[in-house]
Amino acid sequence: MDKVKELFRENGLKATAQRVIVYQALEKIGHASVDKVVEQVASVMPTITVATVYKILESLSGAGLISKMHTEQGKLFYDKTPTLHHHIYSSNDNSIRDFIDPELTSIIIDHLAKKSIDGFELEDISLQLIGKFTKEQN
């Protein structure tokens, strides 16, 4: 908890209780749409508002502490891991899970480096695997 506060200060963010809670909520669920975060946060601090959660998620992602993406549905998702990773999007239950595959990441980056699109400075890659889970997952 104090570690989290410190992390915020190091990144120029004031260490408020709300931010700590939002951050911990995201750590717990991994990645989630804003309303899932709100849900989780509300169980700890029911007085927090949706607008605040939006603002906090935005500032944390601006500071690079979490990452931000849009789903196939166009809803905002945030993810605890700011490191380069990808997402599996399941079209049968609209869930999203992380897909960490550094090997694939570097294959893609290497490939792109070879081809180098002229005048384009690559900052990030976002890969979504879309499909169906044919058996129950966890």
Question: Residues interacting with DNA, by CB under 7 A?
Answer: 5, 8-9, 13-19, 33-35, 45, 47-52, 54-56, 58-59, 74-76
Distance CA 38, CA 91 (A): 23
- Find out whether 60 and 84 touch, Cβ atoms under 8 Å: no
Distance CA 105, CA 85 (A): 8
Which range in 21-29, 33-41, 45-53, 115-123 contacts its own copies by CB under 8 A? Answer: 115-123
- Angle, helices 34-42 vs 50-62, to 10°: value is 110
Structure tokens at 97: 């899970």
Task: List 97's β-bridge partners, or say none.
Answer: 88
State the minimum distance, in angstroms, from the CB of residue 13 to its own copies.
22
50 counts as binding its own copies under rule CB under 8 A:
no
Site pattern 85..114 for its own copies (x: CB under 8 A): ---x-xx-------x-x-xx--xx--xx--
Among 10, 35, 39, 72, binds its own copies (CB under 8 A): 72
**Which partner from the list DNA, its own copies, none does 9 bind, CB cut-off 5 to 8 Å by kind?**
DNA
